[in-house]
Structures are given as C-alpha cells and as structure tokens.
Amino acid sequence: MTEIVFDRVSHDFGPDRVVDDVSLVLAEHRIGIVGANGSGKSTLARMINGLVTPSSGRVSVGGLDLARHAREVRRMVGFVFTNADNQIVMPTVREDVAFTLRRHKLDRADAAARVDAALQRFGLTELADRPAHRLSGGQKQLLALAAVLVAEPSIIVADEPTTLLDARNARLVSEHFAELPQQLVVVSHHLELLEEFDRVIVMEGGRVIADDRPGPALDVYRELIGSAR
C-alpha cells in the first residue's frame, strides 16, 4: 500500500484551527476516520488529494509532496464526495463516466472499453443513456464511484459516502467498498461500514484522540458521543 504522510499538519479556517498539529502515516488497505461534526475529519481527508491545503506542515502521498506535485498526486487519488450531485457534471451516465478520462491519453476504443467495464461493474449498463441527475440517490453514488474508478487511481478517499442514502443503498455502496482492491480512506458516521477495516482514526477538536483497530477505536468514539449528550 502507498504511504500517506501527514507531518505536523494544521489547517486554519478563518480564525478557527480545524486541524491541529496532526502527524500520521497511513499505509493500511482500509482506513476509517470518524469524529463529530467540526472535528476536522473531512478537512484531513481532503488534504490527501489537495482539495484542502495545509496552513502549516506537509502532506505527501507515495513520497510526493502535495505542495510541489499536486497534479501527480491527484492522478493517484480518487475522491468520492458526500453528495454525488456535486460530482456529476455531464448530462448522461455514460458521458459522466467518460468525462473522467478526458485528460488521459487513451485512444477512443480503449476509453470506451474502460467506460463500459466501469458501468458494468456497478450495475449501470442499462442506465448508460439516462439523464445522470435523474437517477436515485444510490444510483448516483454508484455513478460517482464508477466515474472515479474508471481512471484507475491507486487510492480512494470517500467523505461520508453513505450519509445521504437510505439503509438499502448505504448497504449496497458499502458492499462495493468492501470489494475494492484500492487503498481506501473513508470518513463516515456509519460505524458498521468501518468495523471490518484495518484501522480507525478518531478525531476531536482537530486532533487525533484515538488510532487503533476498529473495535477499540470505535469504542472511544461511542464513549465520546455518549458523553456529549
């Protein structure tokens, strides 16, 4: 697995310090990040592909410093947002998946084959010519995942990918995540999604307060949210 390194990273949003002096090395296959709203978890995840820039400290992916090699890192890291509507940019399902490949130097046949394979993998083949924004919530999230994976990134970062879904579609998306060979970093409030992961990080007030196997780490988080009620 690729090493994702946070070296004394902080991020300020206006007067507020959202991430506070975090140092981590992430190298496991599946890593979860949990925390209450405002804990800094999404900001931390967005630093992995440069969607957010640290105010201080350094982030590197596979030995590449994001401050100097952002373009190369973004080719390695695919990002799945909470709301799939924020990722859908083209009129139809097929066009939206194909749009991801616009900067890849592929001939037309190779690009088409990769798009077809991505659509089939996520059960979207019969919906290929449908208007993308008219899909159900679950179908949109699968489309977002297909559009990310068609570029064959080595790392997938997902920020609350099941939060807006009903239980059935959340389970479907979770099952697809479980089958991915790519290194996976997932921010989630759905703790069941993370129970079989290799590692879970708990954040509070911009800092890491627990970093362990899922069982012990999620116990810390449950105690944290229980004491806040």
Give 147-159 pLDDT, tens digit per residue: 999 999 999 999 9
> Contact 167/179 with Cβ under 8 angstroms?
no
Res 229: pLDDT: 60
More confident residue, 212 or 84: 212
Q: From edge to edge, which strands make up the β-sheet containing 183-187?
A: 77-80, 155-159, 183-187, 30-35, 199-204, 207-212
Distance CA 215, CA 200 (A): 9
Distance CA 201, CA 12 (A): 21
Q: Which amino acid is at 42?
A: S
User: Which residue, chain included where needed, has tokens 């990722």?
Assistant: 87
Q: Which residues contact 139 (CB under 8 A, 6 or more apart)?
A: 124, 127
> Contact 202/224 with Cβ under 8 angstroms?
yes
> Contact 93/132 with Cβ under 8 angstroms?
yes
More confident residue, 56 or 103: 56
pLDDT at 209 over 70: yes
Q: pTM here?
A: 0.93
pLDDT at 194 over 90: yes
Helix axes 108-121, 137-149, angle to 10 degrees: 140
Domains of the chain, residue spans: 4-227
Distance CA 223, CA 100 (A): 41
Task: For the domain made up of 4-227, give the CATH fold.
Answer: Rossmann fold (3.40.50)
> Would you mind telling me the total number of residues written for the chain in this entry?
229
Strand partners, 37: none
- Main-chain phi, psi angles of 102, to 5 degrees: -60, -30
> Contact 56/224 with Cβ under 8 angstroms?
no
Q: 104: pLDDT confidence band, cut at 50, 70 and 90?
A: confident
